[in-house]
A = this chain, B = another copy of it.
Amino acid sequence: MEKSQDALVLLRQIIRATDLHDKHLSRMTGLTMPQLMTMQTLRINGPLTIGMLAKEMNLAQATVTSILDRLERKNLVRRERSNTDKRKVLACPTEQGQELLKSAPTTLQDTFIRQFDDMHDWEQSMIVAALEHVSHILGAHHIDAAPMLDIGALDRTSDNHMPEYLKPTHPPFKN
């Protein structure tokens, strides 16, 4: 019955490895982890309202506001109002922000994918099946997750279509 212990240790190792890698990435980019997480979330989901961002990241709106303040000061993100609902504010990555994400090595999943693709087909299937099992055991199968190991990107949305009602119009604003 100690095989379960082995499995737990392995899981913990895996989780920890991603954690350490996140911290590494954070140092590389000069951003804090929540800041990086914000950028990644935007990168995956495209421009989002502050409320959406908060929900995606499981943070309070006020928290996201202050994180965005700092990202905006670094010219990595721009705030734009929706033209149809002027209460909403969109967070959009700037050129510079997109550059940073591109230049920032996301080596962890790259490494994973490279090695994974080198494996035999049956090995790949075995791993996916096993992970599915574990995910199910932990009740995680319902959790929305992007295919990103670095920093918690949370929602899969490959089609980055921005709804009409969110289209930005005017330049940033002051309060």
A: which residues have CB within 8 A of B?
1, 3-20, 23, 58, 108-109, 111-113, 115-117, 119, 123-135, 137-141, 143, 145-149, 152-154, 156
Identical chains bound together, number: 2
23 example contacts (A-B, Cβ-Cβ < 8 A) are as follows: A3-B125, A4-B112, A7-B131, A8-B112, A9-B147, A10-B128, A11-B149, A12-B148, A12-B153, A13-B145, A14-B15, A14-B138, A15-B18, A15-B152, A16-B143, A17-B135, A20-B143, A112-B137, A115-B137, A116-B137, A119-B133, A126-B126, A138-B149
Secondary structure dominating the interface of A: helix
A125 contacts which chain B residues (CB < 8 A)? 3
> Would A138 and B12 count as touching, CB distance under 8 A?
no
Q: Across chains A and B, which 8 residue pairs bring their CB atoms closest together, nearest first?
A: A130-B130, A17-B140, A12-B145, A10-B131, A8-B147, A13-B140, A4-B116, A127-B130
> Would A15 and B17 count as touching, CB distance under 8 A?
no
> Would B116 and A16 count as touching, CB distance under 8 A?
no
- Cβ distance A130 to chain B, nearest Cβ, rounded Å: 3
A141 contacts which chain B residues (CB < 8 A)? 13
> Would B1 and A58 count as touching, CB distance under 8 A?
no
- Cβ distance A74 to chain B, nearest Cβ, rounded Å: 24
- Chain B residue nearest in CB terms to A124: B3
| A130–B112 alpha-carbon span in the complex (Å) | 13
> Would B138 and A127 count as touching, CB distance under 8 A?
no
- Cβ distance A106 to chain B, nearest Cβ, rounded Å: 11
| A124–B134 alpha-carbon span in the complex (Å) | 10
